[in-house]
Amino acid sequence: MARNQFASKFGTMAAIAGSAVGLGNIWKFPYVAGQNGGAAFLIIYIVISLLISVPVMLSEFVIGRRGQGNTYRSFINSSGKKAWGTVGAIEIFAGMVILAFYCVVAGWSLEYIIQSIGHGFGGMTYEQMSVTFDDFVNGNRPVLWTLIFLAMNCVILAFGVSKGIERCSKFMIPALFCILLLLAIVSCWQDGWKEGAAFLLKPNWKAVTGQTIIMALGQSFFSLSLGMSAMTTYGSYIQKDQSLVSVSMIVTGATVLMAVLAGLAIFPSVFTYGVEVTSGPNLVFKTLPPLFATLPGGRIVSVLFFILLFFAAITSSFSLLEAGAAYISEEWKVAGKPVTRVWALVILFFTVGALSVICAMSQVSGSTLTILGWSVFDFTDMFTSNFILPLGGIAACVLVGWLMERNVVFNELTSDGQFSAKVSGFFFWLARYVCPIIILFMFINGVRSIERPKAAPAEEIAPVVAPVQSTSVLDVAADEMEVVFDPNRMIEVQGENAAE
């Protein structure tokens, strides 16, 4: 039986770019770039992406297209050893865990689309918006929106690779780009446009340190959906006449372009009204809504922005869900018969949905849904980011660079000689010698940065807000989170390390 494939080159680009362009590109990348040298950070990010992230992506594409199966089966087929299937299975598991807490954050965007249509947040201050968001998170609606968002993913995937994933991506990614471009153009008429653009694009090499390079490395690696089974699964759907190198370069360029446009759309408003520059949920769900309300046509701007967030979230999330659906439908059997794709999605809806509900409920104030002091939401982010994803990237590079036959790898990289062997050889050399060492350094740095949340003192004292360094490799000790120490309940982390 022939394996499903993307039907067109544009559809391939749109689907893979959709996997890479997620919430982190909208609410985090512009802030990190602006705080760490502006255009200087962008240059470092692009160089690191070309030297590290693109070779890892190519390795995953090679494994997927050569293996012609789900991530588990592709690792086995490409290596010739069943033991390597364990790596693929772990990556699929990581993808499902990431999807669980990603659906929670994505569900918030659906709530805010409805809120924007309804009242547009007109007349609300930042403090009022903060209370509104906190009340929402502590209520029941996040669970409902989380399950609705996951159900949307399942419906799209039920139509298959070409008619589901590809067709939606071909609409959503151009729409996402157009909305971003429109919002960036609208921002040009704001008084703070010059300051906002300078914050993001003015090169400041004095702000660049060794930590900046580490942050750029982490941001690049994880914004491209590496080490979580998505790219390996999508690689198996890429037709043989398409250049893997071209696909990876275009996707990397698209992620940078989207992030820059997001910054140009967001920060002029922030500087115009003199509010604090932040990132993550604080920026998107607390700072921006009241600012949008002050703009001409502010309600439309707000609706478009949260639709943009929704498109970025769902194109990333169904790439993760597809990895799980492909694995179950191709590997599981009931009464000797393979599980159908629809039943695979039903299974995933209930299993991933259950973990998503737990993640959402763990964000409620005073929740006892914790693991080793972290909320379940924060623990799943920390564990996958610090442990599973870097090791998955190393495994892909080792398999392609050292264990697979060189001619087999080059046949995939060059599409059987259709494309340049010199360029392919350069990326092969990087994947073999450079990437494993650099990613191992990331892994060690991330593990060392982990700090277990400390228990609050028993005596009755007022809550204290204190900044601490993030412990996720996604943030690579870069972003500050806001940790609320309340002596009467467990620590709440309301920080920047929401899912990428």
N- to C-terminal Cα distance for the chain? 35
- Alpha helices for 126-166 (secondary structure H): 126-137, 141-158
Q: Which two tokens stand for residue 114?
A: 């409805």
Helix (H) or strand (E) holding 337: strand 337-338
Higher pLDDT, 53 or 498: 53
Q: What is the rounded distance in angstroms from the CA atom of residue 417 to the CA atom of residue 436?
A: 27
Cα 384–chain centre separation = 12
Q: What is the rounded distance in angstroms from the CA atom of residue 266 to the CA atom of residue 257?
A: 14
Q: What is the rounded distance in angstroms from the CA atom of residue 341 to the CA atom of residue 125?
A: 47
pLDDT of amino acid 190: 87
Do the beta carbons of residue 101 and residue 117 sit within 8 Å? no
On average, the pLDDT of the chain sits at 86
Helix (H) or strand (E) holding 63: helix 54-67
Do the beta carbons of residue 16 and residue 236 sit within 8 Å? no
State yes or no: pLDDT of 334 exceeds 70.
yes
Model confidence pLDDT, tens digit, residues 136-177 = 999 999 999 999 999 999 999 999 999 999 999 999 999 999
Model confidence pLDDT, tens digit, residues 33-71 = 888 888 898 899 899 889 999 999 999 999 999 999 999
Higher pLDDT, 23 or 76: 76
State yes or no: pLDDT of 447 exceeds 70.
yes
Return the axis-axis angle of helices 341-361 and 85-118, rounded to nearest 10°: 70
Higher pLDDT, 29 or 397: 397
Which fold would CATH assign to domain 9-455? Answer: Hydantoin permease (1.10.4160)
Specify the 3-state DSSP secondary structure of 162: helix
Residues 6+ apart with CB under 8 A from 89: 71, 72, 327
322-330: average pLDDT:
97
Higher pLDDT, 14 or 266: 14
Q: Which two tokens stand for residue 186?
A: 């609208």
Q: What is the rounded distance in angstroms from the CA atom of residue 38 to the CA atom of residue 485?
A: 33
Q: Nearest-CA neighbor of 20 among 348, 455, 397, 315?
A: 315
Dihedral of alpha carbons 161, 163, 164, 166, sign: positive
% pLDDT > 70, the chain: 90
At residue 454 the predicted structure's pLDDT band, cuts being 50, 70 and 90, is: low
State yes or no: pLDDT of 464 exceeds 70.
no
Q: What is the rounded distance in angstroms from the CA atom of residue 75 to the CA atom of residue 279?
A: 37
Burial (Cβ within 10 Å: 0-12, 13-18, ≥19) of residue 82 = exposed
At residue 283 the predicted structure's pLDDT band, cuts being 50, 70 and 90, is: confident
The phi-psi region of residue 146 (left if phi > 0; otherwise alpha if psi is between -120 and 50; otherwise beta) is alpha
pLDDT of amino acid 468: 36
Q: What is the rounded distance in angstroms from the CA atom of residue 204 to the CA atom of residue 188?
A: 22
Model confidence pLDDT, tens digit, residues 211-255 = 788 888 878 877 888 999 999 999 999 999 999 999 999 999 999
Q: What is the rounded distance in angstroms from the CA atom of residue 194 to the CA atom of residue 189?
A: 10
Model confidence pLDDT, tens digit, residues 261-280 = 998 998 898 888 887 777 67
Residues 6+ apart with CB under 8 A from 2: none
Higher pLDDT, 206 or 236: 236
State yes or no: pLDDT of 352 exceeds 60.
yes
Q: Nearest-CA neighbor of 2 among 96, 69, 64?
A: 69
% pLDDT > 90, the chain: 57
1-15, 390-404, 415-429, 470-484: least confidently modelled range? 470-484
State yes or no: pLDDT of 471 exceeds 80.
no
For 347, other C-beta atoms within 10 Å of its C-beta total 16
State yes or no: pLDDT of 317 exceeds 50.
yes
CA angle 237, 239, 242 (to 5 degrees): 125
Burial (Cβ within 10 Å: 0-12, 13-18, ≥19) of residue 123 = exposed
Higher pLDDT, 85 or 119: 85
State yes or no: pLDDT of 463 exceeds 50.
no
Higher pLDDT, 321 or 27: 321
Q: Which two tokens stand for residue 21?
A: 């362009």
pLDDT of amino acid 214: 80
Higher pLDDT, 450 or 307: 307
pLDDT of amino acid 253: 92
pLDDT of amino acid 449: 72
Q: What is the rounded distance in angstroms from the CA atom of residue 244 to the CA atom of residue 263?
A: 29
- Which CA distances in Å does 339 have to 19, 26, 51, 76? 25, 37, 40, 20
Which amino acid type is present at position 294? T
Q: Nearest-CA neighbor of 389 among 473, 317, 463?
A: 473
pLDDT of amino acid 1: 55
